Amino acid sequence: MTKENNNRRTIVRDAYGEIAQSGGSCCGGSSCCGSSQPRDIAEAIGYSSEELNDLPEASNMGLSCGNPNAIASLRAGENVLDLGCGGGFDVFIAAGKVGSTGHCIGVDMTPDMIDRARINAESFRDRTGLTNVQFRLGEIEHLPVPDATIDVVISNCVINLSDEKEQVWEEIARVLKSGGRACISDLALIQQLPEQLRQSVEALVGCVAGAALIDETKRMIDSAGLFIESIREHNEYLDFMTETQDPLYRQIIEMLPEKTHISDYISSISIVARKKT
Q: Model confidence over 224-258: pLDDT tens digits?
A: 999 999 999 988 887 887 777 677 777 888 888 88
Q: What is the largest CA-CA distance in the chain?
A: 54
Confidence (pLDDT) at 27: 45
Q: In sequence order, which residues have a C-beta less than 8 Å from that of residue 15 and are 6 or more positions away?
A: 26, 32, 205
Answer whether residue 68 is part of any domain: yes
Answer whether residue 197 is part of any domain: yes
Mean pLDDT of 102-120: 96
Confidence (pLDDT) at 24: 56
User: Structural domain tally of the chain?
Assistant: 1
Question: For strand 133-137 and strand 150-156, is the pairing parallel, antiparallel, or unpaired?
Answer: unpaired
Q: Would the pLDDT of 28 be above 50?
A: no
Backbone dihedral region for residue 84 (phi beyond 0: left; psi -120 to 50: alpha; all else: beta): left
Answer whether residue 277 is part of any domain: no
CATH number of the domain that residue 95 is part of: 3.40.50.150
Answer whether residue 32 is part of any domain: yes
Q: Would the pLDDT of 31 be above 70?
A: no
Mean pLDDT of 174-198: 93
Q: Model confidence over 44-88: pLDDT tens digits?
A: 888 998 888 889 878 988 888 899 999 999 999 999 999 999 999
Answer whether residue 29 is part of any domain: yes
Answer whether residue 276 is part of any domain: no
Question: For strand 266-275 and strand 176-189, is the pairing parallel, antiparallel, or unpaired?
Answer: antiparallel
Mean pLDDT of 248-277: 87
Q: Would the pLDDT of 262 be above 60?
A: yes
What is the chain's mean pLDDT, rounded? 88
Percent of the chain at pLDDT > 70 equals 92
Confidence band (pLDDT; 50, 70, 90) for 2? low
Domain extent, residue 187, equals 3-271
Answer whether residue 102 is part of any domain: yes
